[in-house]
Structure 1
Amino acid sequence: MENTLLLSENTSENIYHCIKCGLCLAHCPVYKEVLLEEASPRGKVQLSKFVTEGALPLSEEIKGVLFDTCLLCGSCVANCPSGVHGANLFSGLRWRATQRYGTNWKKKAFFQILASKWKMSKMAWFGAWARRTFGGAWIEGKIKAGALSVDGIPALNKKPFSQTIEEVIKPKGETKARVLYFHGCATEYLYGDIGNAVVDVLPRMGVEVKTPREQVCCGLPIFLSGDRETSLKSIRLALEIFSGKDVDAVIVDCATCGAALKNEYPHLLKELHDLGMDVTAGEVKAAEELAAKVKDVTVFIDEHKDWLPAPEDSTEKIRVTYHDPCHLVKGQKVSAQPRNILRALPNVEFVEMKGADDCCGGGGSFQVEHPETSLKITRRKIDNIYATKAQVVTTCCPGCNLTIGDHLDKKKGMQVMHPLQLLQKALAGR
């Protein structure tokens, strides 16, 4: 494999935009904890330059640096004055390193499960059975999954979310819009209540919601880990189901899924096509068409807030704060819309937290593989949440929900919810 073909010209050109100013260091959550240049975006860009130019081999050691010390949160991208897209650069070299050195068998097996709805459903069933049979507060409190305590992970849905609702839910009155709903793995198997809020609120606004049952994982965890070949299975199925349809929008409730459909699909497929891989121009176009229709559910509701029925007033006020998921605020530039929804609720006293857009430290498998660094980052977030004295912390990412919820002190009784769950309660007078 020639070094000149490691990355597409569009991606590798990023390297030469870096002026080594170091502004990214102040925003990188990993660098702020470990204080190592090789862990910083600036350091990784320079390593990437040496590798793509052939001055350094893509060795096991370099592979370790590119794999192990980046959350791919996008903080460096959002704050780079030169427009360097480090996340695209680093994930591209992860892919090439994975091709050369492979993926460890545990990740490979997990990715194969994620890419198959049948396998994912069976694994979810097995996980629920094992937890019922062998679990319990005492034993779960002793088991760790990296930085996560197993007893802090919510119980799996009794049934996959998509099996508990009608595939098409029509509004009772006039149909003002039609949308497709991409709910993602977390809603399907873990946070069914979030999905129920989506399919309850949108029809109340006059929106017809179709939730295709055959949808699978968006593929983002797979291709960001470097296994682009496996991720293509999920991506192609998503394009078949969601792209080119006669709908007003494709709605997502998960920041990560939204970033995949809106940003990563077009970039990834274009890069593979430019490198002469087995990706057609038609697939690139389909990804671009899908990206143009993808909207976070809070964005869609904020755009059509005049369609909302008036929420029921309540004498009981709850204090609420909001955490910005990296893939939403940095990846999709969505920040005001969830807050607009929360501030409009008559029973909510909204309070901003310090560092609301700082990473929570989860980063998918990062918190499992690098628990010490992850815990340090998460602790900053938890301390900022406690300082607000909120009763509920809201976020638009199930991954952040999992990380934050797992580390909150259960004795404090603080809940983690999606903004739509509070909106649903307000509309129902609860």
Structure 2
Amino acid sequence: MKADEANQCGKCGLCLTSCPVYKATREETTAPRAKIHLIKNFAHDTLPASDRMQKKLQCCLMCGTCTNMCPGGVQHDILFMRMRQEMGSRQGRSKEVKAAGAILPKENRLRLVSKAARLGASSLAQRIIGRMRIGNIPIENFPMPNARPFRDQVPEIIEPSGRPVGTVVYFTGCATNHIFERTGHASVKVLTRMGYRVILPKNQGCCGLPLFFHGDIKQAEDTILANIDVLQAVSCDAILVDCATCGSALGHAYPQLMTELDLPDRPARRLAEKVWDIGEFVFRHFDQLAPHLDPGKNKETVTYHLPCHLKNHGQEKTMVENLLKELPHVDYQKTGDWDSCCGGGGFFFNEYPEISKKIVDSKIKNAVNTGAQSWATGCPGCRVQLSGNLPQKGMMDVCHPMEIIVRGLKQTAKTDE
């Protein structure tokens, strides 16, 4: 570890005002600047690696908010990632990180795990499992995996009904492919109705960011390089993601990660220039969607949660919220904490359940008070955290913004599937 970048920290404390973990605990040791201080002392050999140090460094949502607002330009997320890698090699990695490293980069293993999870979600298994929890979330509140991977359900190239206005690549990530098929179908329907040819490369894989952020860099290297090759090979106007984490990976982290791996970053930078969150893309091209929306549809009350990775690495944080406001069938109700972290953070909700619960409970209270029927968010991890912690299962439809849009589309002569 080098101390050069850590030395940029001026200890001003601005990161404390934005860090969701610090705001929940009010403990200086959980603050970003405290972690930077640990890293600096470790780099200068004045502080040895220890289990306690590793635990302090892991107590972070890796949301990127501190990096985004730091006046000193400290790249907290990159420094934390490097240090987690160092701690993992010295102290060992958690069972969650080990499991993710064994599964996420391998599509065949993801398929097996999805089948096993689907079997585990059966009524018989639920009676056996009972009230088991992962973190604070009851097993029964986790979403049912897709019966088949989403990309197996659709063609690799999907044409619009009329002449294409453009071509987009749809990067589905792990979650849509194996859990949230409804999001995938909604996204394809919206894009083709807008006139876009949609390409879903079959060989795309996990974005790799969860592994990188938890310090398991080498495990993610192959799948990230494969994604860059696959996506670079397709001629398109834009590469769209329905997951804020995937968007942060492809559009922000990949060029930095190439540097970490001592690899050329130019292909990753060319790729990043084309990456858009699908909600932001649809808003930017709303004139192509508007004619297909039915103003006669019954109003649906909707609130919105802005994922941290979209807030910090997207085009502009109000774009998806403004998209929801433009929909004629939506009665949008904003919460005061619409853009604050939900406390999910990869494995954080399981590793630090008390802090995670404190963060999410206030968001749920505010969302419920809006009277919303649906809670839209563009991050699969946030969906699991928000829906899994609701006081009553299913009391709100926690869904992707594309699913909200689909409910307002006009019917076509050909029945939509």
TM-score with structure 2 setting the length: 0.94
1:416 aligns with 2:404: no
Could you tell me which amino acid in structure 2 is paired with residue 47 of structure 1? L
CA shift at 1:133, angstroms?
Answer: 6.4
Distance 1:89-1:252 versus aligned 2 partners, 3 A rule: same
Query: Which residue of structure 2 aligns with residue 232 of structure 1?
Result: 221
Given candidates 349, 363, 367, the residue that maps to 2:349 is: 367
Amino acid aligned to 1:64: K
> What do the CA deviations read for 1:29-83 (whole angstroms, capped 9, x no partner)?
111222221110111111111122222223333222112x111111212332323
Residue among 310, 313, 317 paired with 1:335: 317
Residue identity in the other structure for 1:38: T
The answer on 1:127 being equivalent to 2:113 is no
Q: One-letter code of the match for 1:342?
A: L
What residue is the counterpart of 2:31 in the other structure? 40
Uncovered stretches (5+) of structure 1, i.e. residues with no partner: 1-5, 274-279
Bigger Cα displacement from structure 2, 234-243 vs 98-107: 98-107
Aligned partner of 2:374 in structure 1 is 392
Counterpart for residue 344 of structure 1: 326
Specify which of 275, 288, 291 is matched with residue 272 of structure 2: 291
Q: Distance in 2 between matches of 1:312 and 1:262?
A: 33
Q: Which residue of 1 aligns with 2:408?
A: 426
Does 2:51 match 1:60? yes
Count the aligned residue pairs.
411
The separation in 2 between residues aligned to 1:236 and 1:134, in whole angstroms, is: 41
Give the aligned residue type for 1:129: L
SS of the equivalent of 2:39 reads helix
Alignment partner of 1:73 is 2:63: yes
Cα distance between partner residues in 2 of 1:364 and 1:427? 33
Matches of 2:214 and 2:181, distance apart in 1: 26
One-letter identity of the residue aligned with 2:183: I
1:15 and 2:30 correspond: no
With normalisation by structure 1, the TM-score equals 0.91
Deviations 1:352-398 (A, max 9, x none): 11111111011111111111111111112112212222111111111
Unaligned runs of 5+ in 2: none
- Equivalent residue number for residue 276 of structure 1: none
- 1:384 and 1:45 map into 2 onto residues whose CA distance is 33
Matched, 1:305 2:286: yes
Give runs of ≥4 in structure 1 deviating > 3 Å. 138-141
Contact 2:97 2:216 in 1 (8 A): no
What fraction of aligned residue pairs are identical, expressed as a percent?
Answer: 37
Q: 1:168 to 1:72 in 2, by over 3 A?
A: same
**2-structure distance, mates of 1:420, 1:412:** 19
The change in CA–CA distance for 1:362 and 1:241 in structure 2 (over 3 A counts) is: same
Displacement of 1:147 in angstroms is 1.7
3-state SS of 1:363 partner: coil
Q: Secondary structure at the match of 2:74?
A: coil
Residue aligned with 1:217, SS: coil
SS at match of 1:349: strand
* Cα-to-partner distance string for 1:399-427 (whole Å, 9 max, x where unaligned): 11111011123377311111111111111
Counterpart amino acid of 2:189?
A: D
Alpha-carbon distance in 2 for matches of 1:191, 1:151? 16
**Match of residue 90, structure 2, among 93, 100, 116:** 100
Q: CA deviation at 1:311?
A: 0.4
Task: Report what 1:316 is aligned to.
Answer: 298
Q: Secondary structure in 1 aligned to 2:368?
A: helix
Structure 1 residues 112 and 18 mapped into 2: Cα distance closer, same or farther (>3 Å)?
Answer: same
* 2:153 alignment partner in structure 1: 164
Do residues 31 (structure 1) and 13 (structure 2) align?
Answer: no
Contact 1:220 1:256 in 2 (8 A): yes
Shift in CA distance, 166/82, structure 1 to aligned 2, threshold 3 Å: same
Q: Which of 338, 359, 373 matches 1:377?
A: 359
Cα gap change, 1:216/1:34 in structure 2, threshold over 3 Å: closer, same or farther?
A: same
Distance of 2:36 and 2:9 partners within structure 1: 8
The structure-2 alpha-carbon separation of the partners of 1:134 and 1:378, relative to structure 1 and needing over 3 Å to count, comes to same
C-alpha distance after superposition, 1:207-246 (max 9, x if no partner): 1111112221111111111110001021011111112532
Match of 1:247 in 2: 236
Deviation, 1:142, is 0.7
1:116 to 106, 109, 125: 106
Query: RMSD over aligned Cα, in angstroms?
Result: 1.8
Equivalent residue for 1:265, pick from 232, 239, 254: 254
What do the CA deviations read for 1:292-325 (whole angstroms, capped 9, x no partner)?
A: 1111101211222222233012352221111010
SS of the aligned residue for 1:135 comes to helix
Q: Look up the SS of the partner of 1:181 in the other structure.
A: strand
